[in-house]
Chains A and B, each alone.
Chain A
Amino acid sequence: MSIKDQAAVVGVGATPYYKRGQSYPQSELEMACKATLLALEDAGLTINDLDGFAIYSYSCDPAQVASTLGVPEVRFAASLTSGGGGCAGALGLAAAAIHGGMANVCVTLMTLQQHKRRLGGSAVDGVLAYATMSEGGGAYGGSGIGPSVAFTANNGLLSPGHSFSLLTKRHMHQYGTKREHMAEVVMSSRENAIRRPLTALNRKPLTIDDYFNARMISDPLCLLDYTMESDGAVAVITVSAERARDLRQPPVYIMGSAHGGTGRWGPAIFRYFQAPDDEFASSGHRPVAKRVYEMAGITPGDVDVALLYDHFSPMVIMQLEDYGFCGIGEGGPFVADGNIRWGTGSIPVNTHGGNLSEAYIIGMTHVREAVEQLRGVAVNQVEDAEIALVTGGPASLPVSATLLRR
């Protein structure tokens, strides 16, 4: 028994995407409600049908959303653990809840506002706040610093970009990956974004010179290798495959979904970097990739479009390897050969512009694009797209993937 083909995504809703902080004075709760209602409407359902929350990264408080919107009865409320790595896998959680008879209509959503806080800044701000206040005791006095923190606090690597620079540098060393390869990921995403005036936040044409002139942040990653910082909310609705056939939109079936990773990957990112040598310079997705293909019963060659979590451009290269679109270590030359370009490449990647150029709503923009591709209504439509791969992470465990089909 598996969830293969047992459930389908039937509704998508989203607020506009905003640059960091610009969604204020709306609240995250308000945006979550807005996206949920739009997704239900898209499916031809109402708030009276909604009974499940299958989320990730504790993206919202189901209690607040349900009480605000007047959901008659919540029957399922669960989140994948950790952060953005779970976005794709939350669809599998929804499918499992539905197939297991625990819920009928699940919403998966992310709502994000970076008005008062910035993602990725928490580790930094926390430690720096500690540093500045520690002399006088202050708010952190007596608690909050665990005994393992001292092993990393003073090394100067305290942001996500620093972490992914370490993986990238190792990948470059082991396989000869170059900055030109990362530039191709960035430029391909930008080209896709330029054709999407309705959603994409960064549509400025980009040359290779622009890339190499961009401010270096954490060498080898420059400003353009980093995700944008955005606000907004995206929600999708999942129901059983049977029910999906009677709804407003063509069903997008969940062929397979997997999340997790090796135990030793768990502490690899952001902390002690102890993944074994054969996994270190990777996206951490290999075991998840194997399982998701097995569940769906397909191979990488069957995938028509890949929506790969791109908080940092080289992580696209490593995921292309780990999902079998090319050999391990061959991701750089693979993208340089034009393979990820929309319209001409062998596996179009991030046709919406990705986190790098469209918007960063912690992975849900990728889910939305996968659904639009399989409905045949994407702006950068991949001709006859039948199967889409959508991923979450690399990040702390779990990372995740879902295969969708029309």
Chain B
Amino acid sequence: MTDSSTATPNPFGELRQGVFPSILKDPHADETTQPFWDAAADGRLVATRCTNCGTFRIPPAPYCYACQHTDTEWVELPGTGTIYTFTIVRHPLAPDLAPTVPYASGVIELDGTQGAGARMICNIVDVDVETVQIGDRVEIVWERVSDTMSTPRVRPIGGPPGAGA
């Protein structure tokens, strides 16, 4: 397996433990989602907010679930948040993904929003998965996947425990 000249290349590319590969290389955006990916390419997190009642919604949706208005504005968020819940995937989705496990992924409540409407589900990277806890503070890191897409992931604020400054 160490002889790279004879090994079959992994269809998911180069894999490392803890990181689920960005299997989607393009956001397949439409006009309602393109601003999110434009900002992402720029390393910024933005979300749509209802101009009538202020409720956030990710991903963008045609109606506000709280007041049924349609108009939204794009708001830049701090890009930090709190782990609401998570799982540690220890058995890979497919044999080719074995090098990625264990990895942690979870639901992140984003700072600057009101919770449920603006949660994101992200792979939690740069961390010893065994130490992840609900309530941990995290920040978004963008993985540049292609010219059109940057995948949001999160990592502990301040880096992994014991990593030093």
- CB of A188 to closest CB in B, whole Å: 24
Q: What is the chain B residue whose CB lies nearest that of A146?
A: B28
A132, B20: Cα distance in complex, Å:
15
A48 CB within 8 Å of chain B: no
For residue A162, which residues in chain B have a CB less than 8 angstroms away from its CB? 87, 89, 105
A65 within 8 A of B: no
A131 & B88 in contact (Cβ 8 Å cutoff): no
In the complex, A217 has a CB within 8 A of chain B: yes
Whether a CB of chain B sits under 8 angstroms from the CB of A215 is yes
Name A166's contact: one of B86, B91, B103 (CB within 8 Å). B86
A273–B20 CB distance below 8 A: no
Chain B interface size, as a band, is: 35 or more
A122 within 8 A of B: no
Q: Mark A145-171, 1 if CB is under 8 A from B, else 0.
A: 111111111111111001001110110
Q: Whole-angstrom distance from the CB of A12 to the nearest CB of chain B?
A: 36
Give the distance in Å from the alpha carbon of A173 to the alpha carbon of B85 in the complex: 8
Q: Does B123 contact A (CB under 8 A)?
A: yes
Verify if A218 is at the interface (C-beta below 8 Å from B): yes
Which residues of chain A have C-beta atoms less than 8 A from B3's C-beta?
none
- Once the chains are docked, how many angstroms separate the CA of A272 from the CA of B122? 11
Query: Separation in Å of the B26 CB from the closest CB of chain A?
Result: 8
Is B59 touching A154 in the complex (CB atoms < 8 A)?
A: no
User: A173-B134, A277-B115 known; A150 and B33 CB under 8 Å?
Assistant: yes
Q: Are A274 and B106 touching (Cβ within 8 A)?
A: no
Complex-state Cα separation, A344 to B102, whole angstroms: 40
- Is residue B29 within 8 Å, beta carbon to beta carbon, of the partner chain? yes
Please give me the residue from chain B that is nearest to A158 by CB atom: B93
Helix, strand, loop or mixed for chain A's interface? Answer: mixed
Q: Does B48 contact A (CB under 8 A)?
A: no
Cα-based distance from A276 to B134 in the complex (angstroms)? 17
Is the CB–CB distance between B87 and A166 below 8 Å? yes
Q: Is B107 an interface position by the 8 A CB rule?
A: yes
* Cross-chain contact of A156 among B32, B65, B100, B107 (Cβ < 8 A): B100
Q: Chain B contacts of A206 at CB under 8 A?
A: none
Nearest CB in chain A: distance from B64 CB, A? 12
Q: Give the docked Cα–Cα distance between A272 and B116 (Å).
A: 9
Residue among A216, A263, A272 with max Cβ neighbours from chain B (10 Å): A272
CB nearest to A164 among chain B residues? B87
Q: Does B43 contact A (CB under 8 A)?
A: no
- Rounded to whole angstroms, the CA-CA distance of A14 and B94 in the bound complex is 33
Report yes or no: A154 in contact with B85, Cβ–Cβ below 8 A: no
CB-nearest residue of chain B relative to A157?
A: B105
Q: Does A128 contact B (CB under 8 A)?
A: yes
| Beyond A155-B123, A217-B90, A280-B84, 9 extra complex contacts between A and B, CB < 8 Å | A150-B27, A157-B87, A157-B105, A162-B89, A169-B87, A218-B91, A264-B65, A272-B121, A276-B115
**The 10 residue pairs across chains A and B that have the minimum distance between CB atoms:** A156-B20, A131-B23, A165-B87, A219-B88, A150-B27, A153-B24, A170-B85, A145-B28, A147-B30, A217-B91
Q: What are 6 A-B residue pairs whose CB atoms fall within 8 Å in the complex?
A: A132-B11, A154-B21, A157-B89, A169-B134, A218-B89, A280-B84
Could you list which residues of chain A lie within 8 angstroms of chain B, going by C-beta atoms? 124, 127-128, 130-132, 134, 145-159, 162, 165-167, 169-170, 173, 215-221, 263-264, 272-277, 280
